[in-house]
Amino acid sequence: MTRTCEKCGFVNQDDYDFCAKCGNPLVEGLQPRQVYVYKAEQLQVNKKALIAAYAITIFLSWSGFVIGLISKHTHFAVFTFFGFFMPFYLLQSKHPTLRKHGLIMMMISFVGVALSFYVMFH
């Protein structure tokens, strides 16, 4: 069984107490709760967390290159793929600043991984 909203006519599931489209109460006597909606553009970017994300990305993606230079014939470069986790996470953000930094970190990771594999195979 479904519940139809009297205000907008949207057909809701039976267990919904409020309309999924307009928020109108579907059960008599229920009062709508006050809901705050935050847009991604209004949120502040935590600069310390962003610096930590850069440090983690550089450490993970360039570590195979450094270890490869120190010790020859190592397969440690495979570990550098962990450097892609942070950029992929940031690229999924709705915040444009975080996506921009995700692209920058992705380029840093690509260079670090490429150099790591170059050192590993040569």
Check pLDDT > 80 for residue 111.
yes
pTM of the predicted model as reported, rounded to 2 decimal places: 0.61
Burial of 48 (0-12, 13-18, 19+ CB in 10 A): exposed
pLDDT value at residue 103: 96
pLDDT band at 43 (very low <50, low <70, confident <90, very high): low
Pairing assessment for the beta strands 2-4 and 11-13 based on DSSP bridges: antiparallel
Find the mean pLDDT for residues 29-56: 77
Quick check: 108 pLDDT over 80?
A: yes
The per-residue DSSP string of 86-118 comes to HHHHHHT-SSHHHHHHHHHHHHHHHHHHHHHHH
Structure tokens at 60: 């993970």
Residue that is written with structure tokens 């550089």 in the block: 58
